[in-house]
């Protein structure tokens, strides 16, 4: 038995002091707040938004077409009429760099969509089933990894010819493999957790457990990998176009613009500065955003 006199109720001041030190927030709201505190990640997000707006609206607002030639403005330096100057054919570089942004961003986002759709499904099934099925599925990924992307492009050039179609098919073949490996590792880590066991005990099917319970809990790592895959795809397209295996003239890819500007780089440096600068700034912005997302979505950093 206990003595009632040893227990005294709290006073009003003591109750007011027992307040919550940290407001209750969901995982995603907490990640968004921590992402906003990362200045470089916010800067990267703003730069990406500006590049997207530039790619969408700049050609609409300009009076010049991306393939419109006027030899009166051949190699014109940047000025009030042509903000980024002109190339050797008198084509406005401000519009051509904007069209290059359309091509590069479409390639980057397509590669991300392919890696998200195929990689999540493939890696999820491989990690959840395990055993021989996992061994066979991962050996397929190893084979895809072992073949350089350049080999895919050369083979596709023989079949469908050089151009943007070859780049899309190449990315479709190879870019989902890193996502599949990452998702497989996350699924293998989560499939023995208590919430998965509880779902299995209640009679949930394997597909429901995988796509309604495991995959949503792995979305943090998926988003980070997705963000880092975009600049990789943009650089791949720019490199292939630079060496002549991507899009061809008069299409205004950033890689094509950089390739055309190299011979006259010492005389007309602005022709290389703007497309190369656009590639660098865009890739850097996505890397800043990816680093910020990785830190914001890490549950170990929650306070």
Which of 128-137, 145-154, 213-222 is the most confident on average?
128-137
Which conformational region is residue 244 in: left (phi greater than 0), alpha (psi within -120 to 50 degrees), or beta? left
The residue-averaged pLDDT of 273-286 equals 92
pLDDT-wise least confident of 31-40, 125-134, 145-154, 223-232: 145-154
Q: Token digits for 88? A: 């050797």
Mean pLDDT value of segment 49-61: 89
Contact 292, 41 (CB under 8 A): yes
Binned at pLDDT 50, 70 and 90, residue 224 comes out as confident
CA-based nearest residue to 206, from 221, 223, 224, 191? 191
Structure tokens at 95: 């519009």
Give the separation between CA 282 and CA 288, rounded to whole angstroms. Answer: 10
Q: Which pTM was predicted?
A: 0.81
| pLDDT at position 301 | 52
CATH top class, domain 27-301:
mainly alpha
- Backbone phi, then psi, for 54, in 5-degree steps? -65, -45
Q: Is the pLDDT of residue 93 over 60?
A: yes
Q: Per-residue pLDDT averaged across 217-230, rounded?
A: 86
Among the listed ranges 167-171, 203-207, 232-236, which one has the minimum average pLDDT value?
167-171
pLDDT for the residue 255: 85
What's the CA gap between 246 and 166, in Å, rounded? Answer: 7
Confidence of residue 1 (pLDDT cuts 50, 70, 90): low
Confidence (pLDDT) at 236: 83
Average pLDDT over residues 26-54: 86
Tens of pLDDT, residue by residue over 285-301, are: 999 998 888 888 765 55
> Could you tell me the residue ranges of all domains in the chain?
27-301
Token pair of 128, please?
């959840």
How crowded is the C-beta side of 291, counted as CA atoms within 13 Å?
Answer: 13
* pLDDT for position 13: 64
Q: What are phi and psi of 92, to 5 degrees?
A: -70, 120
Question: With 80 as the cut, is the pLDDT of residue 251 above it?
Answer: no
| Contact of 268 with 30, CB cutoff 8 Å | no
pLDDT digits (tens, 9 = 90+) for 169-203: 777 777 888 889 989 998 998 888 888 888 888 88
For residue 236, give both structure tokens: 């791949």
**CA angle (57, 63, 68) in 5-degree steps:** 105
**How large is the average pLDDT for residues 44-58?**
92
Q: What is the pLDDT of residue 2?
A: 55
Tokens of 31: 């990640």
């Amino acid at each position: 038995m206990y003595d009632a006199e040893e227990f005294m109720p709290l006073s009003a001041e003591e109750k007011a002091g027992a307040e919550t030190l940290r407001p209750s927030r969901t995982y995603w709201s907490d990640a968004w707040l921590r992402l906003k505190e990362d200045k470089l990640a916010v800067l990267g997000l703003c730069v990406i938004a500006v590049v997207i707006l530039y790619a969408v609206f700049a050609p609409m607002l300009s009076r010049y077409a991306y393939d419109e030639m006027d030899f009166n403005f051949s190699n014109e330096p940047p000025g009030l009429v042509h903000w980024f100057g002109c190339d050797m054919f008198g084509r406005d570089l401000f519009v051509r760099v904007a069209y290059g942004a359309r091509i590069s961003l479409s390639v980057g986002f397509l590669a991300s969509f392919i890696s998200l759709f195929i990689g999540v499904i493939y890696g999820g099934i491989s990690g959840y089933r395990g055993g021989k099925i996992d061994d066979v599925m991962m050996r397929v990924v190893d084979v895809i990894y072992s073949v350089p992307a350049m080999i895919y492009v050369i083979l596709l050039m023989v079949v469908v010819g050089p151009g943007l179609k070859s780049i899309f098919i190449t990315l479709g073949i190879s870019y989902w493999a890193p996502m599949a490996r990452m998702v497989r590792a996350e699924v293998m880590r989560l499939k023995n957790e208590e919430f998965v066991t509880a779902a299995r005990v209640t009679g949930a099917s394997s597909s429901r457990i995988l796509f309604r319970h495991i995959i949503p809990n792995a979305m943090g790592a998926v988003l980070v990998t997705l963000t880092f895959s975009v600049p990789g795809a943009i650089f791949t397209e720019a490199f292939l176009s630079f060496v002549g295996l991507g899009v061809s003239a008069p299409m205004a890819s950033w890689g094509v613009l950089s390739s055309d500007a190299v011979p006259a780089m010492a005389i007309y440096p602005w022709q290389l500065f703007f497309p190369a600068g656009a590639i660098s700034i865009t890739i850097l912005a996505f890397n800043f955003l990816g680093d910020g997302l990785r830190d914001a979505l890490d549950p170990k950093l929650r306070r």
